């Protein structure tokens, strides 16, 4: 028994992760909406990271006021057509202040992505740690962490986040505050998912074999459980990203998130409420960016779920096989019908009737 447990893995075992990654990539490419969604997110990340470069290319920044570009007699409406769109301001200017809208959109993308990604990383660390500890601990630990998880899931996230940000000093960096607050209040569902998956994995033979060899619980979690939990964790992370982005935008819209002069899509939507009729582009641009980004994250997350789920892949193969068999049946049926019709036409020709068709 000891020899079986300590036998080295086969030579090809090290190639399994790479083969699995290639298989997932093929499944992901098979989904037509996945690559366009990934391209949109990649372009958005490039624009956000290169915001200072694009701002220098346009010759503008996100905080400078241009009073001469707005009509003070009309309450601050941008001069010119389409909200002041021109060679110096590619997407126009902000009503009332004259700040460049293109640069503020780019810096707003940087803030939104930073908060969403940072909060998601915090949720992943806390959720995976709590879920694994609950699954590998005794009944007391599992019960305590289970009740704590239930409390975190039941909390109204937006209300609790607003309450937490209200008691923090105003000088604290708001993006970092939102990362911590959102990350620490929205890990409950992930902890449940990790705990359920880890409890199922504990019953497998290779985990029992590792325990019989004297491996510690930490080693079992690190070597046996975490690699198997990568797929559900990645899938859920793709769901958390747009959720956190919407939560940040909602808090900024309500005035408890990102505060001026730092740009944010939610903050821009909040200040654009009074300018909807006078300058609709000021409302449409941040709303469109928020919608496109969250939609792309959702589409890519759904594609990742299907690519990482073996059952989904088997259903796709069965569906393709069924369609192929139905197509082959139709082609065979049509070919048989044409053969029968040609045979019948030859049997009923006038020459056949004269020579013995009556017989």
Alpha helices in 92-156 (DSSP H): 101-136, 139-154
Could you give the C-alpha distances from 57 to 97, 286, 314, in angstroms and in order? 21, 21, 50
Global model pTM greater than 0.95:
no
pLDDT above 60 for 15 = no
Across 253-280, average pLDDT:
90
72 against 347, higher pLDDT:
72
Distance of CA 252 to the CA centre of its chain: 21
Q: What is the pLDDT of residues 304-324, one digit of tens each?
A: 888 887 665 555 455 455 555
What pairs with residue 78 in β-bridges?
Answer: 70
CATH of domain 31-317: 1.10.3720.10
- Kindly list the domain boundaries of the chain, sorted by start residue: 31-317
Reported confidence tier of residue 242, pLDDT bands at 50, 70, 90: very high
Q: Note every long-range contact of 86-93, with CB atoms under 8 Å and residues 24 or more positions apart, other chains counting.
A: 88/58, 88/59, 88/60, 89/58, 89/60, 90/58, 91/281, 91/285, 92/279, 92/281, 92/282, 93/66, 93/69
What pairs with residue 322 in β-bridges?
Answer: none
Q: What is the pLDDT of residues 153-182, one digit of tens each?
A: 998 888 888 888 888 887 889 999 999 999
222 against 9, higher pLDDT:
222
16 against 20, higher pLDDT:
20
Reported confidence tier of residue 97, pLDDT bands at 50, 70, 90: very high
118 against 352, higher pLDDT:
118
């Amino acid at each position: 028994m000891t020899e079986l447990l300590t036998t080295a893995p086969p030579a090809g075992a090290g190639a399994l992760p790479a083969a699995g990654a290639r298989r997932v990539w093929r499944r992901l490419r098979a989904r037509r909406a996945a690559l366009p969604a990934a391209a949109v997110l990649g372009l958005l990340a490039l624009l956000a990271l290169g915001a200072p470069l694009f701002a220098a290319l346009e010759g503008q920044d996100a905080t400078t006021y241009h009073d001469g570009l707005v009509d003070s007699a009309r309450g601050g409406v941008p001069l010119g057509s389409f909200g002041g769109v021109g060679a110096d301001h590619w997407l126009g200017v902000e009503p009332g202040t004259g700040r460049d809208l293109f640069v503020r959109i780019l810096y707003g993308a940087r803030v939104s992505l930073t908060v969403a990604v940072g909060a998601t990383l915090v949720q992943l660390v806390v959720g995976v740690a709590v879920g694994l500890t609950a699954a590998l601990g005794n009944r007391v630990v599992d019960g305590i962490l289970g009740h704590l998880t239930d409390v975190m899931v039941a909390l109204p996230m937006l209300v609790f986040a607003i309450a937490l940000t209200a008691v923090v000093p105003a000088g604290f960096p708001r993006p970092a505050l939102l990362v911590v607050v959102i990350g620490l209040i929205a890990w409950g569902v992930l902890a449940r998912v990790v705990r359920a998956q880890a409890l199922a994995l504990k019953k497998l033979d290779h985990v029992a074999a590792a325990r019989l060899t004297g491996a510690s619980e930490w080693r079992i979690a690190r070597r046996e459980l975490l690699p198997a939990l990568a797929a559900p964790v990645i899938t859920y992370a793709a769901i958390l990203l747009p959720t956190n982005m919407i939560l940040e935008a909602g808090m900024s819209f309500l005035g408890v998130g990102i505060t001026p002069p730092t740009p944010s899509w939610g903050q821009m939507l909040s200040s654009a409420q009074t300018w909807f009729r006078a300058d609709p582009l000021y409302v449409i641009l941040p709303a469109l960016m928020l919608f496109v980004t969250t939609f792309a994250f959702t589409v890519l997350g759904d594609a990742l779920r299907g690519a990482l789920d073996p059952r989904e892949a088997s259903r796709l193969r069965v569906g393709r096989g069924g369609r192929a068999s139905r197509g082959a049946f139709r082609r065979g049926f049509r070919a048989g019908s044409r053969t029968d019709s040609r045979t019948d036409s030859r049997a009923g020709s006038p020459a056949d009737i004269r020579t013995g068709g009556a017989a």
